[in-house]
Amino acid sequence: MAQSLTHGEMTLPADWRDLFALTKPRVMSLVVFTALCGLLAAPVSVSPVLGFASILAIALGAGASGALNQWYEAGLDAKMKRTANRPLPAGRLDPQTALQFGVGLAAFSLFLMLFASNWQATLLLAASILFYVFVYTMWLKPRTPQNIVIGGAAGAFPPLIGWVAATGSVAPLPVLLFLLIFLWTPPHFWALALFVRSDYAAAGIPMMPVVAGERATRRQVLLYAIIMAGAAIAPWPLGYTGALYGWTAAILSALFVLLSLRVGTRQSAEGDLMLPEKRLFAFSIAYLFILFGAVVADRWVLA
Ligand code: HEM
Ligand SMILES: CC(C)=CCC/C(C)=C/CC/C(C)=C/COP(=O)(O)OP(=O)(O)O
């Protein structure tokens, strides 16, 4: 990108790598994968070009929301080790560019979605972007330890958007998939928050381990994991998926609960390596990738 900004003594170019980093590409890869699986699980055939364009729209919309989140949180990100090297707090990109990039990308993603699919999916995509930026980032995150429980709903929308892009309407399976990600988010995030608690405390963000303490957070991780396991398996007995998905969900959810049990029943691990917490966080990501892959594999096996 041709634009440059003054940072201390130096003038640094705002290059495409920083704009790309603004979209949180690693986190969004799973968001986009769940959207793709939602689209492919729908019992209709979608033209590959329009299907691809719809998924691209979701990827761009998710990326835009990540950029707007980082634009708003540049000051907070500067206070945390994990985020201090992001393009804005590190001074490689100026806030105005980031804001224009985020708003432009969001608008483009919605036009693309409208062109590629239908107004229902476009509306859902718009709601997810607005929810993540305004409800989660600006309103809940600095105010309440329930921020990620309520705000996390934004991250649960993508499979529903994928399904609606393909079919034009909502159905029980994508609602259950929404519920699965919604219930998955607390153990996913709090496992991580347990070992980066000091970062959040330094930035003054009221994440659960900072406000309610470590023991309460551990108990909640386990509680959500157990309810999530029920929601993950539910599509099988309810008849929305077959045994391939059912067994995958049952086995992986049992593992998820076992790992959470280790985290949930542990006493304070201050100064420890936090290995069970790190394991649960890493497993949470693999879990969602595999489970959503299984939803699609199951539909193709049944077809
Ligand atoms: C409000 C809800 C959520 C919060 C607060 C949260 C927070 C985090 C944090 C702080 C990280 C650490 C590393 C990083 O910043 O890259 C992370 C990693 C990750 N999250 Fe989440 N997350 C949430 C929801 C989700 C959702 C809905 C998905 C996808 C469906 C997801 C997928 C991932 C993935 C794939 C990584 C690993 C990224 C990497 O390898 O660096 N997260 N999450
Ligand atoms: C389609 C669409 C718009 C999807 C949105 C997807 C979405 C909301 C994903 C949430 C995942 C995410 C980046 C959490 C980071 O939280 P954080 O911002 O608190 O993390 P940070 O501390 O790393 O900035």
ipTM metric: 0.96
4 versus 244: the higher-pLDDT residue is 244
Question: Over 60: is that where the pLDDT of 210 sits?
Answer: yes
Single-letter amino acid code for the residue at 92: R
Report the C-alpha gap between 48 and 235 in whole angstroms: 27
219-254 tens-digit pLDDT: 999 999 999 999 999 999 999 999 999 999 999 999
**Residues 77-104, buried b or exposed e (16+ Cβ, 10 A)?**
bbbbeebeebbbbbebbbeebbeebbee
Beta strands per DSSP E along the chain? 4-7, 10-13
Question: Over 90: is that where the pLDDT of 175 sits?
Answer: yes
CB-based contact 208:217 (threshold 8 Å):
yes
Mean pLDDT over residues 200-225, rounded? 94
Query: Comparing 164-178, 208-222, 266-280, which segment has the lowest mean pLDDT?
Result: 266-280
37-89 tens-digit pLDDT: 999 999 999 999 999 999 999 999 999 999 999 999 999 999 999 999 999 99
Residues near ligand 2 (Cβ within 6 A):
24, 27, 31, 58, 61-62, 65-66, 69, 73, 83, 125, 128-129, 132, 141, 154-155, 157-158
Provide the pLDDT confidence category of residue 300 given band limits of 50, 70 and 90: confident
- Measured from the Cα of 151, ligand 1's closest atom is 1
85-121 tens-digit pLDDT: 999 999 999 999 999 999 999 999 999 999 999 999 9
What's the pLDDT score for residue 10? 44
Ligand 1 neighbour 145 (Cβ under 6 A): no
Tokens (6 digits) for 20: 């790309």
Nearest to 191 by CA among 274, 273, 268, 254: 274
End-to-end CA distance of the chain: 47
* CA 155 to ligand 1 centroid distance, Å: 9
Nearest to 36 by CA among 158, 132, 121: 158
* Residue nearest atom 6 in ligand 1 by C-alpha distance: 189
240-290 tens-digit pLDDT: 999 999 999 999 999 999 999 999 998 766 556 788 999 999 999 999 999
Tokens (6 digits) for 140: 């809940």
What's the pLDDT score for residue 273? 72
What's the pLDDT score for residue 6? 43
* CA 63 to ligand 2 centroid distance, Å: 9
* Residue nearest atom 9 in ligand 1 by C-alpha distance: 189
Nearest to 164 by CA among 175, 180, 153: 175
Report the C-alpha gap between 153 and 135 in whole angstroms: 10
**Alpha helices (H) along 42-132:** 48-72, 74-78, 95-116, 119-130
Element (H, E) at 41: helix 25-41
What's the pLDDT score for residue 196? 87
Report the C-alpha gap between 125 and 32 in whole angstroms: 12
Give SS3 for 46. Answer: coil
Report the C-alpha gap between 56 and 274 in whole angstroms: 37
What's the pLDDT score for residue 267? 76
